Amino acid sequence: MDEFRNRVRVYAGVVVVILAILCIRLIQLQVVSAEAYWGASQSNAVREQRVQPARGAIYDRSGTLLVDNQPSYTIMITPRFFEDDNVPLLADLLSVPDTTVQRKLTEARDWSLFQPSRSFREVSFDTFSRVQEHLYELPGVTYEIEQRRRYHTEAHATHALGYVREIDGRALGKMRDDGYRQGDRIGKTGLESYYEKRLRGEQGSEFMLVDVRGREVKAYRDGREDRAPTSGYDLHLALDHKVQALAESLFVGKRGAAVALDPDNGEIISFVSHPDFDPGIFSRSVSGAEWDSIRTAPADPLYNRATMSGFPPGSTWKPLMSLMALQEGVITANQRVNCPPGYRVGSRVFHNHGYKDEGWINVKKALEVSCNTFYYHLMMETDVNTWSRYARMFEFGQRIPLDVADQSGGLIPDSTYFNETYGRWTAGYTVNLGIGQGDMSVTPMQLARYVAAIANGGTLHVPHFVHELQHPETGEVVQPDIPKPSTVPIDSAHFATVREGMRRVMENGTGQWVQVPGVTSGGKTGTAQNPHGEDHSLFIMFAPFDDPEIAIAVAVENAGYGGSAAAPIASLMAEQYLNGKIDLDIWQRRYWIKRLMEEVRSAPPKGFGAPPDEEESESERVLNADAAPDTVEESRSRSTRSVRLEPIAPIRSTSTTDND
């Protein structure tokens, strides 16, 4: 009997010990380690739904809203919980055939049984509301409210703003650790891409209790575990949307670019690359066919001509040549140099514009009349390495620190380049560099930065779009990280001499017909010789002359003389910026707008499209007679084609004149 009682006590003790262990473990799981095990249990009873933050808005320099967001409604299906019997109900609510719902369900199953699939995007608000009212009848059906960009002005600014699209597989593989998921939208180009982290904000989360059929029951822990999203920063740009819209309208039927800068700080006032496309198409889903039509368009609207197209600068280079010669002591400000009809180098004669003999002139007059032989002389009085060094003082031939990624540095040769390219070479290979022709190329952005430095007396600011970033919720202001400006090591008196010469261009030279009414300015026309078709039209200017507020460079491909295409575009941009409007009471301004929008066009390059019309129109004959614009060289430079700067194919120049 005693033995039986002992056994009972042993068994009872074992049971008590086991129950005690279980109780202790239960307390540990439910109380002590509740937080640690919550994440493991939530997958069975709690559904996490990501809450997208509001992407930052974008404003122009006056505070005008350029870009913000609009809601886009998406119906999602989780195949594991969706019942096939509900296909007709969902189809009726969505106003689509049953077969469409069945196809979407099959696609969702192929992707994942347990993860919600974005099956119906961009449904209308009425449709979304109908589905939402019947969610209790549709286990496995949920929704997501996404954001699409909305554009508010006539200015496209496509290559500046960029666009937002759904993240692709390659980017997702790299950025998953940053919180990106399949179906998220991301800045692909321009400022949308460069400032993606600031614009995107931080995602939030909502946790909902769900039943065994996947239907939401209520907020988990009354929402105490939810995390609110944090909005992205707003971008406040230096861009002027009115100047931008005007410039874009003046580029109708043309290929080219225009860049306007504030000479005091490098802020980008306007940034045009044409052709472009309306970024508003990304406010909705873009079909593959529609995207391919943009991507494969012959004029390549995706190509950023403002920072990627390379042009020989033509006579817009003569101010730099003047600065080099003055600083090196080749000439003085008042020294007179002969400007004959031609300049002989060996057995070849390089001719002056129109074979004119300007006589003995100083550097200011040389800029005013754009004497080629004057600048051939300056080039032959120096060497190509000195020339290259001065070009690089203005940071030609290299990429600019810029908040738009697509860029090319252009081509600025030196003796090493000529040795490697030609082996044996003579002065005939380099004399054309004195008039901005030959084996060289620059981008419109580089030209704008260069003329801004001339305007302000030698300070080379870093161009930038963003004035500041501001958080819409906290008001926090963040300044963009902009490198400090550099100083061009040229005497300020020489800059003053060159600016005076550029003022004379606008008063008595080839720029007099595009002078901004009532505003004194400085400028220089140029024509880039092009072996692939009509010449390219270039123009640089700054205004007002005494206290410059804007510096502009314009390049129009295959449009002819610098004074007839690029110059009036720049002039109208400057007037809009300085005066806030175009004075249409002045007949010349009406004439230029009409001519630019209806007559001036970029001719197709040779071998592309229809051949250019060789017969001059009546309006062109009138303009050319009045404006004394640039003339065509007798033999064209064999320099780089403008449309694609990279890779550069260096070819020896055989040009003999410059068209100014």
Query: Tell me: the pLDDT tens digits for 622-656?
Result: 223 333 333 323 333 333 334 343 333 332 333 44
Rounded to whole angstroms, the Cα distance separating 190 from 59 reads 15
Nearest residue to 625 (alpha-carbon basis) of 566, 561, 570: 561
Are residue 88 and residue 202 in the same domain, yes or no? no
Portion of the chain with pLDDT greater than 70, in percent: 86
CB contact at 8 A, 527 and 314: yes
Are residue 332 and residue 436 in the same domain, yes or no? yes
Beta bridge partners of 141: 77
pLDDT tens, residue by residue, 123-175: 888 988 998 888 888 888 888 888 889 999 999 999 999 998 877 778 877 88
Mean pLDDT of the region 39-50 = 60
Are residue 233 and residue 341 in the same domain, yes or no? no
Helix (H, G, I), strand (E, B) or coil at 504: helix
Sheet strand arrangement including 216-219: 46-51, 204-210, 216-219
Does pLDDT of 193 surpass 70? yes
Query: Can you give the pTM of this predicted structure?
Result: 0.81
User: How confident is residue 219, by pLDDT bands cut at 50, 70 and 90?
Assistant: confident
Looking at residue 628, what is its pLDDT? 32
Are residue 160 and residue 148 in the same domain, yes or no? no
Domain span including residue 566: 242-283+306-465+478-599
Does pLDDT of 76 surpass 70? yes
Cα-Cα-Cα-Cα torsion 325, 326, 332, 335, nearest 10 degrees, comes to: 40
Are residue 89 and residue 220 in the same domain, yes or no? no
76 contact partners, CB below 8 Å, separation of at least 6: 116, 117, 118, 119, 141, 142, 143, 144
Between 108 and 172, the higher pLDDT residue = 108
Helix (H, G, I), strand (E, B) or coil at 599: coil
Are residue 148 and residue 158 in the same domain, yes or no? no
Q: Does residue 509 sit within a domain?
A: yes
287 contact partners, CB below 8 Å, separation of at least 6: none
Beta bridge partners of 46: 209
E strands, 451-490, in order: 459-460, 466-470, 477-478, 486-487
Among 152, 182, 206, give the residue marking a domain's end. Answer: 152
Looking at residue 642, what is its pLDDT? 42
Helix (H, G, I), strand (E, B) or coil at 311: strand
Looking at residue 113, what is its pLDDT? 84
E strands, 81-224, in order: 117-123, 141-151, 164-166, 185-187, 204-210, 216-219
CB contact at 8 A, 188 and 404: no
pLDDT tens, residue by residue, 444-502: 999 999 999 999 999 999 999 999 999 999 999 999 999 999 999 999 999 999 999 99
Looking at residue 198, what is its pLDDT? 94
Are residue 107 and residue 218 in the same domain, yes or no? no
Structure token pair of residue 348? 């070849």
Q: Does residue 232 sit within a domain?
A: yes
**Computed from CA positions of residues 226, 227, 228, 232, in that sequence, does the dihedral angle turn out positive or negative?**
negative
Among 106, 132, 152, give the residue marking a domain's end. Answer: 152
Are residue 344 and residue 379 in the same domain, yes or no? yes
Q: Does residue 179 sit within a domain?
A: yes
Rounded to whole angstroms, the Cα distance separating 138 from 131 reads 9
Portion of the chain with pLDDT greater than 90, in percent: 51
Q: Does residue 433 sit within a domain?
A: yes
- Exposure pattern of 577-604 as b/e (b: 16+ CB <10 Å)? bbeeebeeeeeebeebbebbeeebbbbb
Are residue 233 and residue 134 in the same domain, yes or no? no
Residue with tokens 């060159």: 498
Are residue 214 and residue 249 in the same domain, yes or no? no
Does pLDDT of 29 surpass 70? no
Nearest residue to 255 (alpha-carbon basis) of 272, 278, 280: 272
Mean pLDDT of the region 226-238 = 90
CATH for 588:
3.40.710.10
